[in-house]
Each structure stands twice: as C-alpha cells, then as structure tokens.
Amino acid sequence: MIGRLRGLLLSKQPPALLVECHGVGYDVEAPMSTIYDLPELGREVVLLTHLAIKEDAHQLYGFLTEGERLLFRALLKISGIGAKTALSVLSGASVDEFARLIRAGDVTALTRIPGIGKKTAERIVIELRDKTEGLSDGLSGGSVAFMPRGAVPADPVAEATSALAALGYKPAEVSKLVKDVSQPGMSAEDIIRKALSAALRSIV
C-alpha cells in the first residue's frame, strides 16, 4: 500500500497530477482543496495517498492533509459513492465546511455536488453525522507540503472549464459558473474556487 509520496511536481491538470519520486512518475488524482495549495511545477511536494485497487486499474489519490484523506475514505464507505464523487465533495467544500453541512443536515446543499442525489445525500448525513468531529480533528495537522501558488496558466478559463467538467459538472453548468465568476487576471484555481463555492450555494 502506498500511503505517502514525496517528489517533484511535474504536471498539474486538475484533477490529475504527475509526481516524480526517485525517477518514477506517479499519476495521482487530487481534489481541488489540495490542488489550490500545491507548489509551482518543478518544486517538491508531499502528498498523503490512498490507493484504490480495481480489477482493471490501480488509481492513486493524493491529499495535503489527513483530514482530506479521512473524509475521502469515509465517503467511499457509503453505498453509491465512488472516488469521482468523493473528489467532487472535497473540491466543492473544505473538510470543516462539509462537517458543518452534515451537522446541519443540509441535504439540499449536498445534492448540488455532482453525483449526489437526494437519497445519497440523506445517507451521507445519517452515516457521517457522528463522525464529523473526527474529520475536523484530522484537519488540524495542516498542510504537509510547500504552499506557494503556481503561475497563472496561459488560458485559465479553459483550464478551469476542463477541471469542472472532470469533476462531473454538466457542460451547461460549467459554462454558466465560469462566466459568472471569472474576471480578467484571475488564475484557473481562483476561478474554480469561486465557481465551486457558487455551485454549492445555488443550483445552476
């Protein structure tokens, strides 16, 4: 089991990352909560990881904090939730924000995350309500990687659009979200952060 990676960040195309460790490149998928705080390309990064083994593939998922990994693993244990949906949850809300939604029983807000219908949202609230304190405790350790922001890409709107689509948002939703929040000079990560925040607040 691979539980941690330390190496050079070679590629960042949300949600996909490429991290080189001692000459070996690892394909890693990460939530936006992690991607927001990644170092610049070519810098060292440390990721806590979760290895998902299926019959047709081995997929590695990476996180900057233990709280993120704990929530990801807790979500995977809930019937009807796969890795893609779990990444969408972590991309749309921080661990603390998600814990607040669970404690409040806010099923409506949860259904605004791609892949989560009303029944699944209700199941999440029931199964995780008593575990939110432990998730927040896992977050307290903070980041385990360098924190400088990456350079603004040549086309941040296109990168943000691609990332939101990869997280499961429909084309029409993506177009409206990006159009509503993007402003000149914003990085792709800033556009994604604002778009996800807007998506969680209201149905597109």
Q: Is residue 144 part of a domain?
A: no
**Is residue 56 located within the same domain as residue 86?**
no
- Count of the separate structural domains present in the chain: 3
Within this chain, do residues 71 and 39 fall inside the same structural domain, yes or no?
no
Of 127, 112, 34, 33, residue with least CA distance to 80 = 127
**Is residue 151 assigned to a domain?**
no
What is the CATH number for 43? 2.40.50.140
State the pLDDT confidence band at 154, using cuts at 50, 70 and 90: low
37 with 74, same domain? Answer: no
- Residue 148 located in a structural domain: no
Residues spanned by the domain of 121? 67-139
Q: Kindly report the pTM of this predicted structure.
A: 0.73
Top mean pLDDT of 46-50, 90-94, 166-170, 183-187 is at 46-50
**CATH code at position 181:** 1.10.8.10
Predicted local distance difference test score (pLDDT) of residue 144 = 34
Nearest to 101 by CA among 81, 85, 73, 124: 124
What whole-number distance in Å separates Cα of residue 53 and Cα of residue 31? Answer: 19
Is there a single domain that holds both residue 22 and residue 44? yes
C-beta separation of 39 from 19 below 8 A:
no
Is 56 in the same domain as 14?
Answer: yes
Q: What pLDDT was estimated at residue 80?
A: 84
End position of a domain, from candidates 12, 38, 63: 63
Within this chain, do residues 73 and 127 fall inside the same structural domain, yes or no? Answer: yes
Which phi and psi angles does 4 have, rounded to 5°?
A: -160, 140
- 55 and 81 share one domain: no
Last residue of a domain, one of 38, 63, 88: 63
Q: What is the pLDDT of residues 33-67, one digit of tens each?
A: 899 889 999 999 999 999 998 878 889 999 999 99
Residue 149 counted as domain residue: no
165 within some domain: yes
**pLDDT > 70: percent of the chain:** 87
Per the prediction, the chain carries an average pLDDT of 83
The CATH number that applies at residue 75 is: 1.10.150.20
Please give the pLDDT value at position 40.
92
Domain co-membership, 121 together with 92 = yes
Picking from 20, 38, 63, the residue at the C-terminal end of a domain is 63
Tens of pLDDT, residue by residue over 90-111, are 888 788 888 888 988 989 888 8
Task: State yes or no: pLDDT of 122 exceeds 70.
Answer: yes
Is 53 in the same domain as 95?
no
150 assigned to some structural domain: no
pLDDT at residue 142 above 70? Answer: no
pLDDT at 149 over 70: no
Distances (CA, A) of 153 to 24, 35, 39, 64, 149: 26, 14, 14, 22, 12
Residue 10 is predicted with a pLDDT of: 96
Residue 79 maps to a domain? yes
Q: Is 145 among the domain residues? A: no
